[in-house]
Amino acid sequence: NAGVMQNPRHLVRRRGQEARLRCSPMKGHSHVYWYRQLPEEGLKFMVYLQKENIIDESGMPKERFSAEFPKEGPSILRIQQVVRGDSAAYFCASSPPGQGAVKNTEAFFGQGTRLTVV
């Protein structure tokens, strides 16, 4: 069972371009989380998705950022018109459905995508 796969590992974009980050969850996992990590700032929650549904996007910037987790294929985090401040490591985690509201499951992390905006 492969782990959580993120690609690309490194992504360089010029200001104004679009960045697409992909996350393939572990087999059998229907929940995906996206986090942004900046030096000295820890992991900032961005969005929590289930297949075809956005459960919680309270951590997503209101503009330029979007996420999806289609029925087939990986989850995509999309950043339009990137700016220098978007440079960061973006991590995806996946977990199985679990039971109840608290789930009682653990989340497994991918290797991350390091986005650099030049």
Partner 1 sequence: AQSVSQHNHHVILSEAASLELGCNYSYGGTVNLFWYVQYPGQHLQLLLKYFSGDPLVKGIKGFEAEFIKSKFSFNLRKPSVQWSDTAEYFCAVRHPGRLYFGRGTQLTVWP
Site residues (CB under 8 A) for partner 1? 31, 33, 35, 41-43, 45, 48, 55-56, 91, 93, 101-112
Nearest approach, Cβ of 35 to partner 1 (angstroms)?
A: 7
Residue type, 118: V
Minimum CB separation of residue 19 from partner 1 in Å reads: 19
**C-beta of 17 vs 102, nearer to partner 1:** 102
Please state, in angstroms and rounded to a whole number, the distance separating the CA atoms of residues 41 and 90. Answer: 13
Judged by CB, which is closer to partner 1: 32, or 82?
A: 32
User: What residues pair up with 36 in beta bridges, in sequence order?
Assistant: 44, 90
Nearer residue to partner 1 within complex by CB, 14 or 100: 100
- Measured CA to CA in angstroms, residue 82 lies from 33, 62, 74 at distances of 21, 14, 21
Contact 91, 35 (CB under 8 A): yes
In this complex, which beta carbon is closest to partner 1, that of residue 12 or of residue 38?
38
- Residues 41, 59 contacting (CB under 8 angstroms): no
Q: How far is the CB of 85 from partner 1 (least distance, A)?
A: 19
